[in-house]
Structure 1
Amino acid sequence: MGELCIGTPPQCFNVDFDTGSSDLWVPSMTCNSIGCNNFIHRFDASKSSTYKNPANKTMFEITYGDASSVSGYIGIDTVSINGLAIKNQRFAQITSARVLDIYTAGHADGICGLGFKSISKGHMLPLVFMLWYQDLIDQPIVSFWLDPHPEHKRGGEIMFGGVDPKYFEGDMIFVNVTQQQNLTWQIRLDGIYAGNLNLCEGGCEALIDSGTSYILGSYTGIRRFQELVPDLSVTSPFSTGTVDCSHASSLPNLTFVIGDERLTLISTQYVHSVEDPSNDKIVCFPALHAMDMYAENGNPLWILGDTFMGHYYTSFDLRKRRIGFAKSISISK
C-alpha cells in the first residue's frame, strides 16, 4: 500500500497496488453506503481544476474474489505518484461499496490495479502504460520489494519503470504469462512441492498477486499438505490450520517449480504468528488457504500473494508480458 494523489491541487489517498486487477478507483464525496464508512479520504471533483468527465457518462462496477464489490462512475484527472504527474488518467469515483478486507486491515482508501487493460472493468489504460506513454518512465515495468517482517516500519518499495538491484541478489529469471486473451499475471507452474510431495501433480497455473496476502491453492493440494503435517490443528476447510509455534521450523519447505528453476520458501518464511484474542497466546499457522479455482486450460489455479512475494523480488513487464523473479535480500539479510 502506498500514496497516490488525484487532481489539482492534489488530493491524496492510501491505495493498494494490486497486480490482480487493472482499475484505479477511490471513494467519492457522495459515497454513502455502509461500506463507505471504512474510507478515510474521499475525492471531491469540484475542488480539482484539472478534473473532467468523459464525453459520455460511464458507470463502473467491479467484484473481487472475496465477493466484495464497489460501484460508481468514471472521471478523468491528473494522477500523481512519487512526483510523477500523469495527465488525463481515467479512474473510478466510488459511490457504493461492500466492505473489502483491505479497508479494515490496512486502512486503504482504494485500489490501483497494475494488470492489463484487457481485464479492466472501466476500460482504463493501466497506470504503468500511461507513465510510459507520457515519457515519465523508461519501460512499462513495475517491480515489488516487500519486507516480510511486520515489525519493520518500511514495509516495502514499488518501483515504476524498471528494477532496483539493491533489493535482490543473483540473476533474475523471467517467465512469460500464459494467457493470450484476457491477459493476467498468470504463469505455468510445473510443480509445487511440500518436501518431496507434489501438491499439483500434472502442473498448475499461478497468479502472482500483490493484492492477496497469503498463498491460495486447490483443496486437493492443501489437503495433501495437511496430511503431510500431522501436528496441524484444522478448524476450517479453507485454511491449513494452526501448529504449535515450537514445531513451525519442522514443517517442509515449499518449492515452486517453473521450468528448470526452483523457487523455495523454508517453513519459517510461510508460517505466520498471531495473537489468539481468546487467550492472549501466540498461535502459528501456515499462510496457505484453500480455494478451488481453475485456469482457462482446466488446470488448478493457485494465487501466490505477499507471503511468496515477500521473499522474491518480483518485476512485472507489461510490454514483454513477462514476470521476473529474484531472491530478495529479505531472505538472507
Structure 2
Amino acid sequence: MIFDTGSSDLWVPSTRCSTEDCAGLIGRFDSSKSSTFRRLRNHTNFEIMYGGGTSVSGFMSVDSVSINGLTIERQRFSEITSVNKKDTADISGICGLGFFSSSHGRIPPIIFNLWHQKLIDQPIVSFWLDPNLQHPRGGEIFFGGVNSKLFEGEMIYANLTKRQRQDWQIHLDGIKIGGLDLCPGGCEAVIDSGTTMIIGPSLKVRHFRAWIPNYDEKESTFNCSYRSSMPNIVFIVGGKSLILTAAQYIRTTIDSKNNNDTVCYTTVQGGYGINEYDAYQWILGDAFMSYYYTTFDLGKKRIGFAKSISDTAP
C-alpha cells in the first residue's frame, strides 16, 4: 500500500479487476468475505489519473478499514476494476493523505476519519523514510503526531499556500546549488510521499544539468568522478536552510550499454510535462523526505521538517 500525500483517495484492486495491467497488483478485495461491507445505494463510478500518467477506475464502496490496529468505521473507498499502466505493479493500492477538496471520489480521507472517530489525538501524519534503500525497515508512518526518536534539532514549519483546491503545497524562498538559483524570487513546492524523486520545472532542471561536466542528456547520467566536487543543494523554507549533500542527491547505477560501468545520476528530475504546473512548480518527493522527517498537519494547515536520524535500528 502506498501512503500518498499527493492524492486524497483510497483504493484497492477488486476481484473484478481483469485488465492485463491488473496482474501486477497484489491481492484483491472480495466484498463477499467482509461482514462490515456496504454497497452504496447509487452505484458511483470512480476514476483518477496520477502525475506520471497512470490512471485507475472502478466504483465506490464502504467498509471498515484497519491500519496497524486502528479501525476506521464506514470508510468510503474505491474498488478498482481497470488500470491503464504497469506503474502500479507490486502494490496493493493507494491510500491518499491529502485534503477532501482534492478527492476525485469525494472521499473523506482516512486521516480525517481517524481524527473524527477519536482514534488519534490530532489530524497529523508524519513520515520517516530510511535513505538506505537496502534496509528492510523502509520507514515509519506515524498517525496523530510525531515520533521524536526519529529526528533531531528544530522542526521547521511552513504554512500551506493553496486555499481552494488544497494540496500539501508550500512556498520556498529559494533553491540554490553552487552559483545557481533554481528558484529566483521564490517558488511553490508540493511535498509528495508518492513521488520518488525531486521534480522541478524542466527548464530549471536543464540549467542544473548543463552545469554538470560531461552530462549525458540522453541517458541522464554522468561520470561519478565528478561527484566529490558537486556542491550542496539548499532548499530555503521560512528563511531556514534544508540541505542535501552531493552524497544524498546523487546515486549510482549500472550502464548496461557500456561494459556495465558504474555511472551516476541525480535525484533532481525534470517535470512530467503533462500540465501547466510543469512550468514553475517543484515536487519534493521521497528523495528529499528520506533526509528530513516530515510532518503533515491538517488541522493547522502546515508542514514541518526536521533532520532525520538515519541510523536508527529496525
Same fold (TM over 0.5): yes
Q: Shift in Å at residue 277 of structure 1?
A: 3.5
Give the conservation status (yes or no) of the 8 Å contact 2:202–2:279: no
**Separation in 1 of the partners of 2:261 and 2:14?**
41
Alignment counterpart, residue 289 of structure 2, candidates 309, 329, 333: 309
Q: Number of paired residues?
A: 310
Question: What residue identity is the alignment partner of 1:21?
Answer: S
Matched, 1:282 2:257: no
> By how many angstroms is 1:289 displaced?
1.1
The residue that corresponds to 1:213 in the other structure is 196
CA contact (8 A) 1:204 1:299 kept: no
- The normalised TM-score by structure 2 is 0.94
What SS does the aligned partner of 2:41 have? coil
The residue type equivalent to 1:90 in the other structure is R
Residue-by-residue CA offset, 1:295-332 (whole Å, 9 max, x unaligned): 5xx97100000000000000001111100000111289
Residue 100 of structure 1 and its aligned partner are, at CA, apart by 4.6
Q: Which amino acid aligns with 2:309?
A: I
Report the residue type matching 1:19 in the other structure. T
Q: Report 1:126-137 matches (<5 A).
A: 126-137=109-120
- The change in CA–CA distance for 1:190 and 1:332 in structure 2 (over 3 A counts) is farther
Residue pair 2:213, 2:226 contacting (<8 A) in 1 also: no
- Percent of pairs identical after alignment? 52
Partner of 2:280: 300
CA distance in 2, matches of 1:121, 1:261: 35
1:78–1:129 CA distance, 2 compared to 1 (3 A): same
Correspondence for 1:262 among 238, 241, 265: 241
Corresponding residue number in structure 2 for 1:188 = 171
- Secondary structure in 2 matching 1:264: strand
In the aligned structure 2, how far is the partner of 1:317 from the partner of 1:308? 18
Match of 1:253 in 2: 232
RMSD after superposition:
1.8
**Is 1:162 aligned with 2:145?**
yes
SS of residue matched to 1:56: coil
- Alpha-carbon deviations, 1:255-291, whole Å to 9, x = none? 1111211111001101111223344332210011111
The amino acid across from 2:78 in the alignment is A
Which of 23, 28, 47 is equivalent to 1:61?
Answer: 47
Q: What are the ranges of 5 or more consecutive residues in structure 2 without an aligned counterpart? A: none
Cα distance between partner residues in 1 of 2:28 and 2:291: 34
Distance in 2, Cα, partners of 1:115 & 1:100: 24
Please name the residue that 2:136 is paired with: 153
Q: 1:49 to 1:19 in 2, by over 3 A?
A: same
Name 2:106's counterpart in structure 1. 123
Match of 2:4 among 12, 18, 22: 18
- Residue 304 of structure 1 aligns with an amino acid whose one-letter code is L
Q: 1:260 to 1:167 in 2, by over 3 A?
A: same
Say yes or no: does 1:228 pair with 2:211: yes
Kept in 2: contact 1:205–1:299 (CA 8 A): no
User: For residues 329 and 98 of structure 1, what CA distance do their matches in structure 2 show?
Assistant: 38
Q: Which residue of 2 aligns with 1:7?
A: none
| Aligned equivalent of 2:38, options 52, 67, 79 | 52
What is the distance in 2 between the residues matched to 1:331 and 1:224?
34
Q: Distance in 1 between matches of 2:66 and 2:151?
A: 27
Is the CA contact 2:19–2:81 (under 8 Å) kept in the aligned structure 1?
Answer: yes
User: In the alignment, is residue 40 of structure 1 matched against residue 26 of structure 2?
Assistant: yes
Within the candidate set 304, 308, 314, 1:328 is matched to 308
**Inter-partner Cα distance in structure 1 for 2:276 and 2:296:** 22
1:196-216, CA deviations, whole angstroms, 9 ceiling, x for partnerless residues?
310121221100000000011
> Cα offset for 1:187?
0.5
Structure 1: which 5+ runs fail to align?
Answer: 1-14
CA contact (8 A) 2:201 2:279 kept: no
Q: Does 1:319 align with 2:299?
A: yes
In 2: Cα distance, 1:275 partner to 1:95 partner: 37
1:19-64 per-residue CA deviation (whole Å, 9 max, x = no partner) reads: 0000000100010111111112000001101000123111100001
